[in-house]
Structure formats: C-alpha cells, structure tokens
C-alpha cells in the first residue's frame, strides 16, 4: 500500500525477495500529462502494472465493500509506505499479522506527513527509517526495526531516495526475521509532529539566519521549491551555500547573487525562473543581471 516514488523500492524489493504480493493499493490516478488533462497513475501504480500485479485505487477505505474486498485477499501482512489514506480499524485488523509501515524518521521524532522535510528544517544531524506496527494513532505503533543515516547537506529529494532504498531493504530484512522481532513501544519522550508542508512556507524570509535559509532551500528541493520574488517574478532557489557577509536582510551584496540574511549571507548557486529550466546562477545573471543593492522579497 503506497503511492509516491518513495514506496516504489519497497514494492520491487518485496517481489524480488519472493513474497507473493496479492494486490497493490495506491491513491487514484490524478490529473497530469500535458495541460493536466490526462489522468496519471501514481508511481507505485505504474510499478505494479509493470510487475503484472493487481492494482486497486479506492478513494477511501471507509466503505464496507472496500474493507470486505481487502479482507478477501487473506493477506498475512500489509506493507504500507506513504500510502496517504487513513486505514480504518477493520483494514488494520484484516491481515493475519497486521500492517507494517515504513516511516521515514526515527520514531517518535517526526510522526506525521513530512518527516524528511521537517528533519532538514530543524537542523537534525541524523534521521532514518522505522519499521512500525500500525495502529489507529498517528504513527504511534510499536517499533520493530530502525536504521539511521546522516543528513549532512542532502536535499529532501536526495534524502527521500536514500531512505526509500534503506526502508525497502529494512522491510525485507524485518519480514525475513519477523518471528524473532519483539515490538518495542515508542517512548513518551521526544515526540514531535511533522505537519504537512504548506506552500506558503517555501517563501524565503531573509531575516532568518543564513543557516536557516539554506536548510529551507534543501528541505523544499525538489518541491515545492524555496523562492523569492523580484519585480513581480518568482525565482526558485535550488541550491545555496552559507558565506560570510552582512547587510540589510534580503539585499544582494554583490553582482553574483549573494544575499544578506539576518545572520551571515547566502550565495545562491542554482536557480530557476518561472517557466524556465533550472540553471546555474552565473548563467542566469549573464542574461538577467541582479546588481548589488537589489532588494529581494
């Protein structure tokens, strides 16, 4: 049960490990393609089709007929990874050994929808994956296995891809040794909630420290993309680095798009104008100079 790219490695790993995947559940196809007029299956849906596995994509699992259809699969376990739909209690109870979730954090830190982005924004040095028994609460179930990785200067996209692969391997290993895993309740201390990313959060506030802004850039890459506006046009900042410098927050300090922040400065190294391809900042500035003293907002 999964929807985005994050869940695809888990599906492929389960099949490669010889598990009998009776069905794949994914969110319904969404408008996409040219001009958004075509319904596009999710990445997991497409991966399941390539593997010739039955795909179901109900809008909700609250209806009794959907719950009955799920129970009729007579599954031993449901593996869940970024599915995006709430699993009602009858669904949680249907598999013989319950539902196991691949969650992209070290629980109980960053329960919720956006654990990877929130870990980067908070400046966490490490994160990881937890294999968890699902229950009615939000990411509150007992833990079966964890694996850690350092965040360093990774973007959300890079970290998502890494954790997807690590989570897939950890799930296969957990299933292989499932009888020997003793679920461990999550501790009460250290609980944080990773609320969904709001697009409004992606606007850069240069009054923050350069370190905070740099983390925002990485957390919003690839989507929705950290941005500033200049003369009514939106610019997405894709990569940036913290450098020495001081000045009025939001003001460029040179002709190379180094911007003063509340503390230190940010040198923008890769950027994207609205409706244009991504490019190195030096390339942008050859065609669209942004001189020192320009105010960004």
Task: At 254, give phi and psi (nearest 5°).
Answer: -155, -170
Q: Is 107 annotated as a binding residue?
A: yes
Residues 6+ positions from 250 with CB-CB distance below 8 Å: 206, 207, 228, 259, 260, 295, 296, 297
From the CB of residue 175, how many other CB atoms can be counted at a distance below 10 Å?
Answer: 20
Q: Is 150 annotated as a binding residue?
A: no
- ∠ at Cα 184 (180, 187), nearest 5°? 165
Sign of CA dihedral 246, 248, 252, 253: negative
Q: Is 108 annotated as a binding residue?
A: yes
Q: Is 106 annotated as a binding residue?
A: yes
Residues 6+ positions from 120 with CB-CB distance below 8 Å: 151, 154, 155, 156, 159, 215, 218, 219
From the CB of residue 195, how many other CB atoms can be counted at a distance below 10 Å?
Answer: 14
Q: Among 190, 186, 201, 206, which residue's Cα sits nearest to residue 252?
A: 206
Binding residues for (6S)-5,6,7,8-tetrahydrofolate: 105-108
Binding residues: 105-108
């Amino acid at each position: 049960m999964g929807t985005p790219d994050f869940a695809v490695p888990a599906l492929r790993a389960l099949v490669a490990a010889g598990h009998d995947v009776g069905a794949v559940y994914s969110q319904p196809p969404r408008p996409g393609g040219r001009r958004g007029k075509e319904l596009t299956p999710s990445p997991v849906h497409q991966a399941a089709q390539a593997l010739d596995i039955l795909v179901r994509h109900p809008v909700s699992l609250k209806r009794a007929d959907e719950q009955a259809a799920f129970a009729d699969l007579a599954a031993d376990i449901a593996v869940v990874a970024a599915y995006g739909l709430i699993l009602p209690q009858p669904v949680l109870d249907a598999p013989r050994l319950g539902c196991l979730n691949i969650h992209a954090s070290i629980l109980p830190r960053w329960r919720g929808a956006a654990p990877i982005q929130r870990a980067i924004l908070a400046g966490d040095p490490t994160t990881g994956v937890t294999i968890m028994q699902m229950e009615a609460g939000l990411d509150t179930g007992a833990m079966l296995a964890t694996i850690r990785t350092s965040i360093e200067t990774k973007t959300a996209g890079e970290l998502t891809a890494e954790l997807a692969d690590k989570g897939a391997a950890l799930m296969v290993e957990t299933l292989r040794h499932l009888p020997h895993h003793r679920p461990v309740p999550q501790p009460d201390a250290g609980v944080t909630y990773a609320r969904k990313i709001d697009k409004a959060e992606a606007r850069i506030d240069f009054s923050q420290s350069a370190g905070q802004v740099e983390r925002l850039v990485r957390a919003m890459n690839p989507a929705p993309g950290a941005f500033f506006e200049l003369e009514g046009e939106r610019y997405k900042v894709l990569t940036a680095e913290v450098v020495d410098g001081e000045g009025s927050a939001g003001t460029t300090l040179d002709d190379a798009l180094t911007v003063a922040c509340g503390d230190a400065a940010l040198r923008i190294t890769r950027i994207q104008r609205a409706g244009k391809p991504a490019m190195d900042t030096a390339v942008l500035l050859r065609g669209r100079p942004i001189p020192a003293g320009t105010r960004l907002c």
